[in-house]
A and B are shown apart, each in its own frame.
Chain A
């Protein structure tokens, strides 16, 4: 039986470990910290199709959205995942962005995304507390949300049931390689041997790759989220400003922020989101929180007196061409990567794991994986833009 070592116990590592264990591989998951302790726990749990333009990432998102309900149905207890197929509503708050939003939604419809234009009355019925000052709105019934730490641990538990072992508190320091092939990873607690290694270390996957002897241009992109006190039902979908898509696609290292507002099952509202390139600087910046709060208030003016109970931030795994990295590393036999999903790794984990499993089994994946290949300029050299 082939032994696969998954490096990283976040959402992507958990999903990959589960698929590979179910496919019959002998799987070990190694993490520097604990399960779902880093990027996975510091996001909003997005499973989105709405923010992706037609192209390879949308194909992966649509595959993932088809797979999520099947994964949940196969779990013995899926409640911890807190799956909420609530749908998304994207609004344009200026006349100029309205035309861009309508054109964007039309291009997505042509690619198979359910996207319905909402008139003012339909928008007010769907989100009664949203500002009436919207020039256009589109409803995406396919958008969903999970509690990301719950989802990752549920998938890890399923992997363990299928025979995987979890080794926490083990930081990879280097590779054991012979004749251009990796046969083990070094940790302070000893060598973990295997036939294949999957780098699923998210924003740290560039550093893990460096320690294993290859260059991988995956870097951190900081984001912050505000959490309000628990509220009565106020926000019913994932609601965001059309500027979000522009912020995701931007390359600037400066602060990019756009309003993303949603409720959680506990009643709190999550207010996002920011994008900054500051390395691994984890300091919370009040001026960034202020911008996020201001953008959220423009969408939901009635939040003006709602207390913010805390803020958190995390690091997204960023690649210059905004596409994930999934596949074999041609420079070191036995090394694979499943990383670089930026802010979409929770949702895309399902499709990523299925694609990786097919590639490792030598099967044809359900989608074209060439755009995600490791050997592409943005991943090799990093396209040092910002």
Chain B
């Protein structure tokens, strides 16, 4: 459980969650319908999934689609902003490397 996810039972607004499942580099993660991909990753305790030029970790910086720091590949589509993409059940999310894929 992550401090970035309020459990439905503890939420004063009395919400009812519809769970969904995605994978991150093949590893299954559980999220809540309505969350963005970034929301699912943060709720699962992940705060970084890219690297800056110096190797420093990168994840959600602005959270509103402006900074492009949270890019991931979703179902084979590169350069998707995790903070702007609503997660769908079954999404296969992969992290992006600064190395070229065809060189790996």
Least Cβ distance of A91 to chain B in Å?
Answer: 21
Residues in chain B near residue A233, CB distance under 8 A? 98-100
Enumerate chain B residues within 8 angstroms of A229, measured Cβ to Cβ.
Answer: 68, 71, 79
Q: Point out the residues of chain B lying under 8 angstroms from A309, CB to CB.
A: 66, 68
How many angstroms between the C-alpha atoms of A232 and B99 in the bound complex?
5
Q: A307 with B52: in contact, given A230-B68, A232-B101 (CB under 8 Å)?
A: no
Decide: A266 and B71 in contact? CB cutoff 8 A: no
- The verdict on A265 contacting chain B, using a C-beta distance below 8 Å, is yes
* A234, A267, A305: the one within 8 Å of B53 (CB): A267
Min distance, Cβ A385 to any Cβ of chain B, angstroms = 40
Q: Which of A274-313 contact B (CB under 8 A)?
A: 305-307, 309-310
Return 25 A-B CB contacts under 8 Å, by A number. Answer: A229-B68, A229-B71, A229-B79, A230-B68, A230-B71, A230-B98, A232-B96, A232-B97, A232-B98, A232-B100, A232-B101, A233-B98, A233-B99, A233-B100, A265-B53, A266-B52, A266-B53, A267-B53, A267-B98, A305-B78, A306-B79, A307-B68, A307-B79, A309-B66, A310-B66
Residues of A within 8 A of B (CB): 229-230, 232-234, 265-267, 305-307, 309-310
Task: Give chain B's interface residues, CB within 8 Å of chain A.
Answer: 52-53, 66, 68, 71, 78-79, 96-101
Given A232-B96, A233-B98, A306-B79; 19 other pairs, CB 8 A cutoff: A229-B68, A229-B71, A229-B79, A230-B68, A230-B71, A232-B97, A232-B100, A233-B99, A265-B53, A266-B52, A266-B53, A267-B53, A267-B98, A305-B78, A307-B68, A307-B79, A309-B66, A309-B68, A310-B66
| 7 closest cross-chain pairs (CB), A and B | A232-B100, A309-B68, A229-B79, A229-B68, A265-B53, A307-B79, A232-B98
